[in-house]
Chains A and B, each alone.
Chain A
């Protein structure tokens, strides 16, 4: 198993050879002084034909290790774009993304791909499971991407157990052979969470995870996220437009027209 080179990213404290799990002792000392990830003065515009449409105008936010942050805003306020920029799916026009003290938004493509695979876990509003694969295979996808064919083949049992374990954690142990089309919305989102977590990421980026679910199912997903945050000290950045969902996070960042409006500290749910 190959982690992103620790030196290059200055993350030598957080990564060991087994799945890049951070060492708590080191984390404690750094926690107050340095945020795990921060986005600073991000500006990003899209072109619609000839017209330049600004989406982010100098927005920024930080997340400490183990924090559960929600980003809330209207449709088109740029919250998803901010998440994508932080998760290296997109690059900012202006601004920096800093992971553990190292700027990561200007890395080359290969390093960005590696970081996406090792450090970030994504969940999306529309689940985005691969329709051709079974639930188990979907969950194993990040591990397949991380390892070469031979490397995967050698450790396939280990990976399978890890994926099964993760599926059990999200409560889908009875559906591993099913295709996404055979699952309900809530089940698909749980599957997506399992997929995001199987690679043992440091940060979970969730883009409206409950946006497509009814209230009860959405509550179940939120409960799962909270549990993961508490039990595994997982750092979560969640984008939503739903105040009640956002309120369940430790703290909420409010985006209005591409700018941060104010930072409100809230109690953990």
Chain B
């Protein structure tokens, strides 16, 4: 009883103990804040990775893919249909993308990961619509600069927005005028000689290349005739000189448009509208924002600004390899319909989403409906192991790889885990430092209380009783410090964005720039178990640190303690 009473009294009357409490509190609060923000980032990152990847992915081992998407999906449905909420066939293939920056006139070529998708199917396995720029308003510093171009309920598809179509028309008309000004020159001037043969080759071989051609190619024929019409859908991407040259060289195969038209019917978009000004090409893409934009710091305001080098309505050149035993390089033009931003820069700076049918055509996969992967979303992700097992029984070994998104991104996820673990060890050292502070302060308090210890012993208190006073003192201090730390930490996490605003205001520069992270708010995730273990760890350290002083107190000789001045 006296132990508790004295312990509480010492806590209330020793202001020096406040220093220990504060150090414990700060350590605990720091750990909670850092862990919550880290966990927030991790969770957010996992979500983004996950959303773009779908829950489970079946991939063919080789780039030629697997035949008959419908049949494969039927197999999947039969094997694990009860777990699966949605699935969509996909073609994934690396490639290159070439585009021209309208500002500098430079031509850029980057490697990309092309994904042939059905947008509706893709949206069923992941939130595609949320990522497409045309469905999202342009927001800067919390102010909506431009409302979303498409309504939220507008169906997903490969059509240009009104703005994109207008842009395309204008560009084509400008191109038209430019070509009229310099007849003949426009095409031949820029393109390096090597370009044209390279281009013409792929055209010649597979039919699908020929299929692309019609739209583009038919146009230049009219060049001279109709000035008002910006005929060349491809030339539109005005600066892309390569493209103009392509169109020119392709004129020959385009000679019999009728054939191509009929084939083009297979495309939703193909033939009838081809002639119209501003009509996009059959191959259409959503491009990852990171591929076609860069950040510039405005010298006046110091703000980061995003500059888009390619706009919806422009064309880009894509090249990849055909399927089949001896892959050939294939090259085609595609109209940019939209750009997307998933928030994972890894994806945003490498992925080009394309209409599945067109990609199948260009890669020679349309006959037999070949695909390379099936993405599926499960009703409950916890069933993933069962699904994997069921699917592995169905598919012949060696033909496909079946993985969850976590397995696909295993390296990245485990890297983040290791990072978090190391950070936690380092942060716990902060609390250990607080522990040594407690040790020192307790020694002082024991010295200060020497006489009281003597008195207690003269009244019959046992050594273990005296020891437990100081142990429970340490415990109490740890509990108070951790509780305060938990409260402060949680409040900090709760109001972290307000605090960030305040800090930005005080320091005059943005502490957390949402343009870098694509987060409008600092994401946080408070794991109750984490909070509990941090608090428990801090309390344990406080008790451990008080063991030595408590033992010293317990061993004091009563007479010497009483005589202590």
Residues of chain A at the chain B interface (Cβ within 8 Å) = 81, 84, 87, 89-90, 109-110, 113-118, 122, 124, 128-133, 137, 141-142, 144-149, 152-153, 195, 199
Identify which of residues 429-473 in chain B touch chain A, using a CB-to-CB cut-off of 8 Å: 451-452, 454-463, 465
Identify which of residues 9-29 in chain B touch chain A, using a CB-to-CB cut-off of 8 Å: 9-10, 13
- Evaluate contact between A144 and B559: CB separation under 8 angstroms: no
B193 at the interface (CB under 8 A from A): no
* Interface membership of chain B positions 313-348, coded 1 if the CB is closer than 8 angstroms to chain A and 0 otherwise: 000000000000000000000000000000000000
Q: Contacts A130-B6, A132-B13, A147-B1 known; A142 to B562 CB distance under 8 Å?
A: no
Looking at the assembled complex, report how far the CB atom of B291 sits from the nearest CB atom of chain A, in whole angstroms. 71
- Evaluate contact between B559 and A84: CB separation under 8 angstroms: yes
- Evaluate contact between A116 and B5: CB separation under 8 angstroms: no
Partner among B451, B454, B465, B559 whose Cβ is within 8 Å of the Cβ of A145: B465
Q: Is the interface of B mostly helix, strand, loop or mixed?
A: helix
Residues of B within 8 A of A142 (CB): 459-460
Bin the interface of chain B by size.
20 to 34
Q: Contacts A89-B559, A109-B463, A113-B460 known; A148 to B1 CB distance under 8 Å?
A: yes
- What are 13 residue pairs bridging A and B, where the CB atoms are less than 8 Å apart in the complex? A87-B458, A89-B457, A90-B557, A113-B461, A113-B462, A114-B460, A117-B460, A122-B458, A128-B458, A132-B9, A144-B1, A145-B2, A153-B1
Q: Contacts A128-B562, A133-B9, A153-B1 known; A145 to B460 CB distance under 8 Å?
A: yes
Residues of chain B at the chain A interface (Cβ within 8 Å) = 1-2, 4-6, 9-10, 13, 451-452, 454-463, 465, 557-559, 562
- Evaluate contact between B460 and A144: CB separation under 8 angstroms: no
CA distance A110 to B464 in the complex (A): 10
Residues of A within 8 A of B455 (CB): 128-130
Residue of B nearest to A143 (CB): B1
Residues of B within 8 A of A148 (CB): 1
CA distance A144 to B456 in the complex (A): 11
CA distance A117 to B461 in the complex (A): 8
Looking at the assembled complex, report how far the CB atom of B207 sits from the nearest CB atom of chain A, in whole angstroms. 92
CA distance A89 to B1 in the complex (A): 22
CA distance A261 to B127 in the complex (A): 102
Residues of A within 8 A of B454 (CB): 128
- Evaluate contact between B460 and A110: CB separation under 8 angstroms: no
Residue of A nearest to B454 (CB): A128
CA distance A148 to B468 in the complex (A): 13
Looking at the assembled complex, report how far the CB atom of B469 sits from the nearest CB atom of chain A, in whole angstroms. 11
Residue of A nearest to B561 (CB): A89
Partner among A89, A110, A146 whose Cβ is within 8 Å of the Cβ of B558: A89
CA distance A152 to B4 in the complex (A): 12
CA distance A216 to B500 in the complex (A): 70
Looking at the assembled complex, report how far the CB atom of B499 sits from the nearest CB atom of chain A, in whole angstroms. 39
Q: Contacts A132-B6, A149-B4, A152-B1 known; A89 to B458 CB distance under 8 Å?
A: yes
- Evaluate contact between B458 and A116: CB separation under 8 angstroms: yes
- Evaluate contact between A141 and B459: CB separation under 8 angstroms: yes
Residues of B within 8 A of A147 (CB): 1
Residues of B within 8 A of A117 (CB): 459-460
Q: A130-B455, A145-B461, A149-B4 are in contact. List 11 more A-B contacts (CB 8 A).
A: A89-B562, A90-B558, A109-B462, A116-B457, A128-B451, A128-B454, A130-B452, A144-B5, A146-B460, A148-B1, A153-B1
Residue of B nearest to A110 (CB): B462
CA distance A142 to B463 in the complex (A): 15
CA distance A124 to B559 in the complex (A): 12
Residues of A within 8 A of B460 (CB): 113-118, 142, 145-146, 199
CA distance A110 to B454 in the complex (A): 16
Looking at the assembled complex, report how far the CB atom of B69 sits from the nearest CB atom of chain A, in whole angstroms. 74
CA distance A149 to B562 in the complex (A): 26
CA distance A129 to B454 in the complex (A): 11
Q: Contacts A144-B2, A145-B465 known; A132 to B459 CB distance under 8 Å?
A: no
Residues of B within 8 A of A137 (CB): 5
CA distance A115 to B457 in the complex (A): 11
Residues of A within 8 A of B5 (CB): 133, 137, 144
CA distance A173 to B458 in the complex (A): 25
Residues of B within 8 A of A109 (CB): 462-463
Residues of A within 8 A of B562 (CB): 89, 124, 128
Looking at the assembled complex, report how far the CB atom of A112 sits from the nearest CB atom of chain B, in whole angstroms. 9
- Evaluate contact between B1 and A122: CB separation under 8 angstroms: no
